A and B are shown apart, each in its own frame.
Chain A
Amino acid sequence: MPSHYPVDASRTDLAREFKANPFGPHRPELQRVVTRLRWCEVPGRHVLVTRVPHREWVLGRLSGRRGVDVELLEDQVFTSRAEAEWAVFKLRWQAVTGKTLDID
């Protein structure tokens, strides 16, 4: 079950703050948003699948089932973990608020 916390889509300032420092520590106000976005069930959860250790990752989505492989999103390859955090943050922001984040 997702957390109760509502994400206010107008607070793009918090999104920018996350982008600038995706690994934190975050101010409490931002951490609440981050927690909400990270709070997702296992099936479909985004993960970083190692392609080249310490250098390259491809975005994946967990099946949530033993014996069923993680789905690889081959067009989403990252060479920095921070970039990957931001890409997933935007995807989840949209999924939770219904609004696209218009920040690059």
Chain B
Amino acid sequence: MDKKIVGYADEISVAPGERIRFMVSCEPEISRYRAEFVRLLSGDTQPDGPGYRDEPLPGAAIGEHAGRRQAVHAGAFGIVPHHRVFEGLESLSLQVTVYPTLPEARRACVLSKTDPAAGAGFALWCDPREGMVLALGDGDGGMRELATGRPLIAKEWYLVQATCDAESGEVRISQRLLESYARDTSTGSARTRLEGEVALSCDAPLLVAAHSRERSRRGRPIPELVFNGRVERPVVASRRLDEAELETLRYGPLPAALRPALCVALDFSREIDSDDIVDISPNRVHGELVNLPIRAVRGSSWTGEEMNFRHAPEHYAAVHFLEDALYDCEWESDFELVVPEGTRSGFYAAKLTSGDQEDHIPFFVRPPRGRASAPLVLIAPTASYMAYANWRSSMENEHGELDYNHLAEIFPEDRYLNLRPELGNSMYDHHADGTGVCYSSRLRPILNFRPKHGSLWQLSADMHLVDWLESNDIAYDVLTDEDMHADGVECLRRYRCVMTCTHPEYYSTPMWNALYAYTQGGGRLMYLGGNGFYWRVAFRDDKPGAMEMRRAEDGSRSWIAEPGEYYMAFTGELGGMWWRCGGAPQYLVGNGFVAQGFDFSSYYRRNSDSFDPRAAFVFEGVGPEELIGNFGLIGGGAAGIELDAFNRHYGTPPHALNLASSEKHTDSYLHVNEDVGHMYLPIGGLDDPAVRADMVFFETPNGGAVFSTGSIGWCSALFHRRYDNNVSRITRNVLDRFLDAAPFDDGGG
């Protein structure tokens, strides 16, 4: 069944009394839909699963709304507003350094300031057959073009110059390959003499990497024919400059003699941690970037001497523009909710229905600000939800079936997404030009952020834990990653125990610091997942709902960051694995990512450490020989999907107990590459002893403690025999002890 309603919310976490807005788009056949607000209790609809359950959010009105289609305008580009320096232009010089990443696909716009209807303005195009093209308005609804006639080679830098001289009537364009290859034929130029008029001025904004003929509801140009690739130092001058003069404008300070001739000279090496485009000409016509093109990327003068853009911004003077990047759909709001006072903290959704159509837009209600309403808090891993947002893997992954060892299942959400490239990508995907996706956003419909999604992954898998808490009448609050990022340890200190979901993989530095300070301050942490605390991410205060990460240096990566591009533009921090940034997961929670596989899950067997009196509370009611979790709704076991192991060398505290380990994993479980210094054959579960999950416990200073299961599959086993099983029992044993105020013995006497 095709999906016909989708939406998103402007907030991810709201407290009672706060407002959240919902934006919805429907296919034309949906004329009306019903919107209600529900507390999510359970999600997994597979035949053996607990099923989907929700309950109304008390005091929230049910609405009937008219369906409408709302458009998405993807494409990362730059806008510099119109300014009087562009008025009365008779002659013109343009210069820009470009690095096309998809020049063969179609014509793409590198620079434009055009009024297509009037035939006014100018543009530079990159054409698959004609190479760089200069287009000048003819004043009569058309554009005159001059092309070099030489296609550009993908992923090479070119200096592009174009001039139009009113006095002599000469028009010129050139492109020069900056690399020196033998037998190159992609450098070239063309010149002609003007016949007839040109109209170079118009009041449209100057666009970088896009052309536009229409404006959005908010009055912003809608980008089309977006250039995929890097652009550096675009310069527009109001008279003809010769080649040598132009070249002096390529980088560095602007020569004083040429400054009066300049309209704009955009220096992308400035304000890299923002959307700002800085004009260094005397006119200061600053602009902004839209839809998060990639910053802190290598420019044409990068040498390898510096790897950090903050140490040599001039080496990072380029911006990477992309046709399929998206930050905010900017849809009109269809309805909103002011969370009623007294609403219990938890997982919620706006549930939209029309006939057999349905969509859930999840959000989280936190307790009233500054308060806790339960001794336990569950952290909704919204950073990880965002990293996986609109994951296109099932229909795009080259080796997909080899990962799973069965046919890929395509859910309606996958098809919907595939038909709509404009909904953007997850951080596991590649952009249309092959570039790895390093930014994500939640301000767009996220098709896999849904409680009933058929693929049990992130939110849909976390619903197993929510179901367990709800069905066992355990009181809990919910905070999100973004709350932890913004509020720090203060928001955690109110709780006796903090519990994670199944896959809390992405952590910002403030999040990491909050959790560490919490456990060090006597807090109790239950890490009930796998592959946790693995990648470092960054948020930007002025860019709500956006997140950055770099798949740098090491780790299990669906793409690999380019050399010199390991530092995050948002914060300047080194990106990549937390292990490589000095905060290994083993140090934080006792175990860390070691293997993954996707066919069968396994079980744990108790280790001798589990009989240590310090851990007796964990195993109350569990026999010494009992296999733990040889059942479950994901792969049939509690130890599965992504596994974390004890590792003193990486940072597991010396006094930590390795309580139980999983065993007998299949060969589809492979030891992660960051552990494999050089290659050897048996890295699968049948041979490699590293392929296992370790259940770890350790005390922290000030009477705190950490318990970690190290498996994404753990929570899928909670429901077995209606929660009457040893995974549920161990989880409950630990929770009960962790909620008990009695301090753990930290050895301090």
Contact = CB atoms under 8 A, between A and B. Distances in A.
A12 interface: no
B419 interface: yes
18 contacts: A25-B600, A34-B405, A38-B402, A39-B399, A40-B401, A41-B398, A42-B398, A46-B407, A47-B407, A47-B408, A48-B409, A49-B410, A50-B454, A51-B1, A62-B395, A64-B396, A66-B432, A69-B415
B406 A85 contact: yes
A54 B409 CA distance: 10
Contact of A23 (B45, B395, B398, B599): B599
B409 A25 contact: no
B46 interface: yes
B407 A88 contact: yes
A45 B600 contact: no
Contacts of B405: 23-24, 34, 38
Given A38-B405, A42-B396, 20 more contacts: A22-B406, A25-B667, A31-B667, A38-B401, A46-B407, A47-B407, A47-B408, A48-B410, A49-B409, A50-B409, A50-B411, A54-B46, A60-B410, A64-B396, A66-B392, A67-B418, A67-B420, A68-B418, A69-B418, A81-B406
A84 B666 contact: no
B419 A69 contact: yes
A41 B400 CA distance: 10
A49 B418 contact: no
List 9 A-B pairs, minimum CB-CB distance, nearest first. Answer: A66-B421, A38-B401, A49-B410, A47-B408, A48-B409, A25-B666, A47-B410, A48-B407, A50-B411
A57 interface: yes
A25 B599 contact: yes
A70 interface: yes
B457 to A, nearest CB: 15
Contacts of B521: none
A70 B418 contact: yes
Contacts of A23: 405-406, 599
A39 to B, nearest CB: 6
Interface string B368-397: 000000000000000000000000101111
A33 B534 CA distance: 34
Contacts of A85: 406-407
A35 interface: yes
Given A25-B666, A54-B46, A67-B421, A35 B408 contact: no
A53 interface: yes
Contacts, number: 84
Contacts of A60: 410
Contacts of B420: 67
Interface string A81-104: 100110010000000000000000
B749 interface: no
A49 B402 contact: no
Interface SS of chain B: loop
Contacts of B399: 39
Contacts of A84: 407
B47 interface: yes
Nearest to A59: B407
Interface residues of B, number: 34
Contacts of A57: 409
A28 to B, nearest CB: 8
Nearest to B664: A25
Contact of B401 (A45, A64, A68, A69): A45
B679 to A, nearest CB: 17
B572 interface: no
A68 B421 CA distance: 10
A104 to B, nearest CB: 20
A53 to B, nearest CB: 6
A66 B667 contact: no
Contacts of B418: 66-70
Nearest to A49: B410
Interface of A: 22-25, 31, 34-35, 38-42, 45-51, 53-54, 57, 60, 62, 64, 66-70, 81, 84-85, 88
B56 interface: no
Contacts of B324: 66
Contacts of B394: 47
Nearest to A41: B398
B412 interface: yes
Contacts of A38: 401-402, 405
A48 B406 CA distance: 10
Q: From B47, B324, B398, name the one whose CB has the most chain A CB atoms within 10 angstroms.
A: B398
A71 to B, nearest CB: 11
Contacts of A50: 409-412, 454
A67 B666 CA distance: 36
B524 to A, nearest CB: 37
B415 A49 contact: yes
A42 to B, nearest CB: 6
A85 B401 CA distance: 12
Interface string B432-454: 10000000000000000000001
Contacts of B400: 42
A39 B410 CA distance: 18
A53 B407 contact: no
Interface string B648-686: 000000000000000000110000000000000000000
Nearest to B411: A50
Nearest to B396: A42
Contacts of B454: 50, 53-54
B360 to A, nearest CB: 14
A48 B392 CA distance: 16
Nearest to A51: B1
A18 to B, nearest CB: 12
A35 B14 CA distance: 47
A53 B402 CA distance: 23
* Residue among B1, B406, B412, B421 with max Cβ neighbours from chain A (10 Å): B406
Contacts of A22: 406
Contacts of B398: 41-42
Interface string B36-51: 0000000001110000
A62 B397 CA distance: 11
Task: Pick the most buried of B324, B396, B405, B407: most chain A CB atoms within 10 A of its CB.
Answer: B407
A25 B394 CA distance: 22
A87 to B, nearest CB: 10
Most buried by B among A22, A38, A41, A70: A38
Contacts of A41: 398
Contacts of A53: 45, 454
A51 B410 CA distance: 9
A90 B682 CA distance: 30
Contacts of A88: 407
B207 to A, nearest CB: 24
Given A53-B45, A53-B454, A54-B47, A81 B407 contact: yes
Contacts of B419: 67, 69
B496 to A, nearest CB: 39
Nearest to A37: B401
Contacts of A25: 599-600, 666-667
A34 B405 CA distance: 8
A46 B397 CA distance: 13
Contacts of A51: 1
A19 B454 CA distance: 25
Nearest to A39: B402
